[in-house]
Amino acid sequence: MPPSGYTLGQSNSIINFLISCSEALEKEAVDNELSPIDALRREVENINQIIASNEFKNVSHIILELTKWFYNEIINKAPKSFEEYSRYVEELAVKAKKDILHIHVPSIVESK
């Protein structure tokens, strides 16, 4: 991360990844005739199983946790339709983007 924090481009990359995951999950839910909440819960359970397998102890683990966090936040909104689901994804993406951009590294003080 740059000394001043994350850039808009870096934040957008993370958010675009999460939106892409959410869009893929919506398509999968429609194809399998699942409600948004059922699809989300199933995906979080799948992620939990992958994490519990201890197979991924590298960056993959962090990506899984990030995706799980995003889905859990949408679950907490309890979308009743895919229209609500899409709206909650968009709202959460805006909030997460702001949160990422608010990360700043304090100045490093040299000891004398």
Beta-carbon contacts of 46 under 8 Å, excluding residues fewer than 6 positions away, are: none
Rounded Cα gap, residues 49 and 31, in angstroms:
23
Range of the domain at 59: 8-101
Structural domain includes residue 19 = yes
- Determine the residue type at 100: I
Helix (H) or strand (E) holding 35: none
Structural domains counted in the chain: 1
Question: Is 2 part of any domain?
Answer: no
Structure tokens that stand for 54 in this block = 């201890």
Q: What does the pLDDT profile of the chain (112 residues) look like in tens digits? A: 566 788 899 999 999 999 999 999 999 999 999 999 999 999 999 999 999 887 767 888 899 999 999 999 999 999 999 999 999 999 999 999 999 998 877 655 555 4
Q: Is 0.95 surpassed by the pTM of this model?
A: no
Within-domain flag for 30: yes
Q: Look at residue 53 and tell me if it is in a domain.
A: yes
- Report the C-alpha gap between 104 and 5 in whole angstroms: 4
Where in the chain does DSSP place strands (E)?
Answer: none
